[in-house]
Structure 1
């Protein structure tokens, strides 16, 4: 039976861009490794872990060998692997810089989970290290690679809802393990803001294509709750964009799972609910013709990341979400924490133009903006 003409043909694994996954936690096991196996241009060729037994078990499950498993102290041995073109760093935030710099010294490109690091200075050091080594650095902002987010961006920037006035976004989830690394300030760099609140921050910037000029924020950290000994429970932050556009965002580790994005224009609105989940994204657009939901595919978000970065490596092009995009979010988050501490509005460095920190556009269905 012949294949459908529009069915993309994946490359042979020997011709794909090879990735070493650094850190085998839940995200790697349940999302990244399976996603790479179904991608068109990427392949997992090595695993790096602190648990060799677990690494060997995953290697066997995904057609790798024991020789493809490395511990963190053997990380530099990847430098001799011609089939490892890049690393995907999936470690606690405070380790991102170390492993990015180690990878850059080996001449390996870096795809790094969000947030890029723990603050703007650390993130900028990662960008500088990769530029000095002439390797690419991409921030893993999966929501900038989905048809649904591009449809929302297209409706906003294409004028379907008229001039934008207000945005609001919520990303909250309940955490219950005080020993989880994301609840440790020295490992995470913060609480829900850099973990889940960053989705609201980054997606608002992506949909508008412009950068905020000021922030105002407040946070809550319960005094007697052992779960929040080190990090905040909730953050509320306001972003002021050019032309008087204002975004209100809420994030929490102590509230019911919620992921929403709403954009209000003079003549319509865009609603994403859910907005940040791995599957089941939904976008509703209301314009002068009424309310509708565009029919869009639901490709694997992590597979889309892999493929975009693989094509950028092959073509020598700056990724759509390079390290600089991650640094900008850290600048804004640093300002959010400063505002929450001082109770004052914090002004940001003006950034003219559109998509100032982004690179080569990915090929995404629903792409208009």
Structure 2
């Protein structure tokens, strides 16, 4: 297994072979049902994808089912990929750019937003260039390699008057939103504990995810961010302290600055605690567990491409699977075009919050000290 993408794609394989259930069956999602089952002729967000790798391909395919977002451009350093995408998605030559000339997109009215799906270490400069070109930016997570760079990206987009959104697809996933609804409604009672386990055995040692300069770290940046973000949206709180321990069994494969396995703990203002695991050296880890005084929620798989599976003290979660990236892009179109407020934030500020926690986890591993967060 070469990457998190491969891992999540394997989890999704069985789901992709199944027909989607009617959207009307979604608990509490009459808005989705009405939207996807009625004709739409309103404004559409015109999107260029930057980075035409496996995940960019997945997003492009999912966007074919979107009603409010449309793929209208591409940015890549590989001419052969551009040609293939032009043919597959009917993209005109004038909407195709490379990494050297994509600043010219500022003069292209066919593109409203650029979705940056490149290695983590490139996000900072690329998003700032997108902002300077006057286009909205959607950035894959983690949005940067540290909180300082993330804040600079937020500031650049604010200064340019464009939106910066982060590709938190789970923030729109129906089963996830049902657990959040139950928590907000008090159905779990006082939240006591969260556990997040995220990991797989990574393959090719030469890939960019094991290159510190491009990845910004190791498993924590790639897969552990799901547990960090999940702890926050499942508990509904921001952590106030962090402890962490790193384990490395293969220093040849996992060089200095590239983490193999990190266990980390977080404490929240209410007294709730989280215990999480992020690893590139163990497979079959994709589980969230939330415990409260009145009940619980368990999701496994919790963050794969789908279908997400889960249960609570009230029974199985039955919301049907909808392609995550389709929902994400339609919802992001609503945010950009209409100022719609999502249930869970997907702004650049949200991305910075996760990066501050990542910074603190790495510092806790380095020093062995508990890190206090303001």
Same fold (TM over 0.5): yes
CA distance in 2 between partners of 1:65 and 1:137 (Å): 26
CA distance in 1 between partners of 2:357 and 2:272 (Å): 16
> Residue 20 of structure 1 aligns with which residue?
48
2:359 to 322, 334, 345: 334
- Give the Å deviation of 1:65: 3.0
CA distance in 1 between partners of 2:39 and 2:325 (Å): 16
CA distance in 2 between partners of 1:253 and 1:224 (Å): 13
Change (3 A) 1:327 1:242: same
- Give the Å deviation of 1:256: 1.0
> Residue 368 of structure 2 aligns with which residue?
343
CA distance in 1 between partners of 2:251 and 2:130 (Å): 41
2:316 to 293, 296, 306: 293
| Cα deviation 1:285-310 (Å, max 9, x = unaligned) | 11xxxx41132121211112211221
> Residue 97 of structure 1 aligns with which residue?
124
CA distance in 1 between partners of 2:123 and 2:53 (Å): 15
114-123 vs 149-158, greater mean Cα deviation: 149-158
> Residue 169 of structure 1 aligns with which residue?
196
CA distance in 2 between partners of 1:155 and 1:283 (Å): 13
Contact 2:243/2:264 (<8 A) preserved: yes
> Residue 141 of structure 1 aligns with which residue?
168
CA distance in 1 between partners of 2:336 and 2:289 (Å): 34
- Please state whether the residue corresponding to 2:270 is helix, strand or coil: helix
- Give the Å deviation of 1:243: 1.9
CA distance in 1 between partners of 2:311 and 2:185 (Å): 15
Contact 2:44/2:70 (<8 A) preserved: yes
- Please state whether the residue corresponding to 1:72 is helix, strand or coil: coil
Question: Aligned pair count?
Answer: 340
- Please state whether the residue corresponding to 2:258 is helix, strand or coil: coil
- Please state whether the residue corresponding to 1:244 is helix, strand or coil: coil
| Cα deviation 1:321-344 (Å, max 9, x = unaligned) | 100000010001100111111111
CA distance in 2 between partners of 1:313 and 1:180 (Å): 34
- Please state whether the residue corresponding to 1:328 is helix, strand or coil: helix
Contact 2:247/2:261 (<8 A) preserved: yes
1:8 to 2:31 alignment:
no
1:158 to 160, 179, 185: 185
1:306-325 → structure 2 map (5 Å cutoff): 306-316=329-339, 320-325=345-350
1:51-200 → structure 2 map (5 Å cutoff): 51-200=78-227
- Please state whether the residue corresponding to 1:40 is helix, strand or coil: coil
- Give the Å deviation of 1:348: 0.2
> Residue 233 of structure 2 aligns with which residue?
206
1:49 to 2:76 alignment:
yes
CA distance in 2 between partners of 1:53 and 1:169 (Å): 40
62-71 vs 224-233, greater mean Cα deviation: 224-233
216-225 vs 78-87, greater mean Cα deviation: 216-225
| Cα deviation 1:127-155 (Å, max 9, x = unaligned) | 00000001000011111111111111122
1:218 to 229, 245, 249: 245
Contact 1:157/1:207 (<8 A) preserved: no
CA distance in 2 between partners of 1:173 and 1:276 (Å): 13
TM-score (norm. length: structure 2): 0.87
165-174 vs 56-65, greater mean Cα deviation: 56-65
Change (3 A) 1:16 1:120: same
| Cα deviation 1:175-215 (Å, max 9, x = unaligned) | 01111111011111111111110001101101222100000
TM-score (norm. length: structure 1): 0.88
1:237 to 261, 264, 268: 264
CA distance in 1 between partners of 2:88 and 2:197 (Å): 37
Runs of 4+ more than 6 Å apart: none
